[in-house]
Amino acid sequence: MKYGILGDIHANLSALRSVLEHFRARRVERILSVGDVVGYGAAPTECIEILRAAGARVVKGNHDAACVHELDLAYFNTYARAAVSWTRGQLSRADCTWLAQLPLTLDLEDCSVAHGTYHRPERFDYVQGESDAEASLDRIPTPVCFVGHSHVPIALVRLEDDPLRTARAEGTDIDLSDVHRALINVGSVGQPRDDDPRAACAIYDVEEQRVTIERVRYDIETEARRIRAAGLPPVLADRLFHGV
């Protein structure tokens, strides 16, 4: 089984299309999403439609929750708040129903999925280092849990021969064959923040016991134009060119 994992799409239609094309070329069989389908970008309805049509299994992100009034906007910065308000005006009733029914975590046969942490998903905490991952790694019932939220790819692992110590796996090719548990942030499709403007995603090959973090070029100019034309804060368009 080959999974394609993507998240933090943030209503970036060009980036989503390019990543799905990449998944097709890499013969991905199932698509999973770590959430934040909407917010920041200008194509929320289109991105929801595409994920539904692709049969993706999706968890709920904090922006998804905010757009259906499940989360207080006090937690959001000015630009994020403006984007949530704009997005609420765009979503159809069916879009809202779909966003509201998304689960906070998923446990599948080969892996688990959450937006922030696995152990307290409703708090939308960030996983950016070893200590942030400990409680989730203690709880996940599968070998690997995919998360998002920080928009920065990172892999935190516990090895079979040292299952109490959490370490950072270097590089973008993560060998799971000697790993007891792994928590992997797959980065962001629609708003990368690691100084690389290309869309980020991951491919999990279960038979090969391997996860690769991959980057995909997309038409940033078109997407930036869409954001400006929608009247969203221009900074949300400008940052896409720099991956910040």
The footprint of Zn ion (CB under 5 A) covers 8, 36
Looking at beta carbons only, is 76 or 176 nearer to Zn ion? 76
**Token pair listed for 231:** 């009247």
Question: In whole angstroms, what is the distance from residue 149 CA to residue 127 CA?
Answer: 8
Q: Please, what sign has the CA dihedral across residues 145, 149, 151, 152?
A: negative
Q: How far apart are CB 66 and Zn ion at their closest, in Å?
A: 11
Looking at beta carbons only, is 36 or 132 nearer to Zn ion? 36
Q: How far apart are CB 80 and Zn ion at their closest, in Å?
A: 9
Looking at beta carbons only, is 176 or 220 nearer to Zn ion? 220
Looking at beta carbons only, is 133 or 152 nearer to Zn ion? 152
Burial label for 236, CB within 10 Å (0-12, 13-18, 19+), is buried
Burial label for 86, CB within 10 Å (0-12, 13-18, 19+), is buried
Looking at beta carbons only, is 8 or 214 nearer to Zn ion? 8
Q: How far apart are CB 62 and Zn ion at their closest, in Å?
A: 7
Closest-approach residue to Zn ion (CB): 36
Q: How far apart are CB 74 and Zn ion at their closest, in Å?
A: 17
Secondary structure (DSSP) of 94-137: HHHHHHHT--SEEE-SS-EEESS-SSSGGG-----SHHHHHHHH
Q: How far apart are CB 189 and Zn ion at their closest, in Å?
A: 10
Residue with tokens 């757009």: 67
66, 84 Cβ separation under 8 angstroms? yes
